[in-house]
Each structure stands twice: as structure tokens, then as C-alpha cells.
Amino acid sequence: MVKRSNTWNIVPDKNNDPISDLQDNSGNSRDIVGNSTYPDFYNYYDGTDIYFRMRVSASPLQTISNFSTFSWGLLIDSNQNDSHYEWLVLLDGINNPDRIRVGQKTNINNPGVYTVAADTFYTITGTISANAVSPSFGVNDHLLDIKISKSEFTQITGIDQNTRIRYFIGSSSSSDSINYDTTATSYTGNFSSFVNINGVKCD
């Protein structure tokens, strides 16, 4: 399912630079990497499915068909209030088999930080893959791709092509949250610019 690179949209951060990571520099597959030339995070909607692409510093696969026991994903702000995320989309390599989870954060009285687990989880149809890429930001970097059904995503979240959303990305050692190399140390004030589900800026 590797797509032509020119179909991907680079998700802009609040300063209109490519959304980035904390530069953990551990060099393993939980280390999200990138710069303006080799962005960390891309998004795309082809009319049927929504795609997310994340650049990581090493192969996230333990075998050709089994992701390592970490997770990678993104938080979504869908109500234009960044003190609270509404949705989590996670490639969960910890569960056996690997899966794609959509989590809803409903407890607005306890928004917590990004490491706080979502409250309700849904399964969603999708495809995951990872491929080595060269040239790239560093040695042995891989592109991790998540493809999900847009119709299921809209049914679960209410988010469609007319919704303004913002992203915050991260890797994790949890199946319920992101808690490792992330966009910033806190999500408040650090979501991306507003984009649509195609990853195109829309404010």
C-alpha cells in the first residue's frame, strides 16, 4: 500500500513548519524523526480511506508481518479546544495480533495530559505497513503507514471532510495512549495547525 510520495500532505505545526518530535534520538523505532526536508508526519485522504505516515528511526517490525511491541499514533483535537483531546488513533503493535485502535477521550473533567489513556476504544478496519526509506533523515529510517476506513472513522468520531481538526503525534509503550517521543512535552498549545482529514491546512 505504499503510495506515491507526492500524494501525501505534510501536516503543518502551529508555526506552519512540518509537525515534529522531541528529538529523543534513541535511534530505535520509537524515535520519531524528521526535519523540513524529511517530515515526521503526513496525512492523506483519497475519498475512501484516510492515511497517516510517520517517520521512525529504525524498523518498527520484529518480523515481516509483526510490529514490535510498541505503538505509534496521534491525538486529534476535533472541538477546537486543545486543553482536551477527543480522539486517539493508534497502531498497536503490543496487542497480538497487531491492531488499529480508535480511542475516545470523554472524561472532560479529567483531561490529564497526553499520556492519559482514552476512555472508550473502538476497532476500525485498516492496513498497517512499514518500509525502509532512502534518502531520509538518518540511517535505517522507516516510514510507518496507517490506512483506515473513512466511513468507519466518520461513523465512530463524527469527523468528516468538513471538520477542522488538529494533530499531536507520538510513539508509546502503551496500547491506550501515546507516552514516548511526542510532538511536545504537553499537548496544550502544541497541536498542529487546523487541517482537514486530507492534511491540508484549513484555517
Q: Write each residue from 66 to 95 as x if it is in contact with Ca ion (CB under 5 A), else as -, in one continuous string.
A: xx---------x-x-x--x--------x--
The angle formed by the CA atoms of residues 86, 92 and 97, to the nearest 5 degrees, is 140
CB of 137 to Ca ion, least distance (A): 7
Whole-number Å distance between alpha carbons of 60 and 182: 16
Alpha helix segments (H runs only) across 53-203: 150-157
CA–chain centroid gap for 24, Å, is 17
- Measured between alpha carbons, how far is 57 from 59 in angstroms, rounded to an integer? 7
Q: How far apart are CA 154 and CA 176, in angstroms?
A: 20
Q: Does 119 bind Ca ion (CB under 5 A)?
A: no
Nearer to Ca ion, 49 or 82 (CB): 82
DSSP for 86-113? -EEEEEESSSSS-EEEEEE---TT----
Return the residue of 141, 183, 187, 193 that touches Ca ion, per CB under 5 A. Answer: 141
User: Nearer Cβ to Ca ion, position 4 or 11?
Assistant: 11
Residue 200 C-alpha cell reads as 491540508
Query: Which CB, 44 or 114, lies closer to Ca ion?
Result: 114
Pick the binder of Ca ion from 57, 157, 171, 192 (CB under 5 A): 57
Tell me the sheet residues that pair with 169: 74
Q: Applying CB under 5 A, does 145 fall inside the site for Ca ion?
A: no
- Choose, by CB under 5 A, the member of 31, 49, 145, 176 that binds Ca ion: 31
Q: Residue 140 interacts with Ca ion (CB under 5 A)?
A: yes
181 binds Ca ion (CB under 5 A): yes
Q: Where does this chain bind Ca ion (CB under 5 A)?
A: 21, 23-24, 31-32, 57, 66-67, 77, 79, 81, 84, 93, 98, 138-141, 181
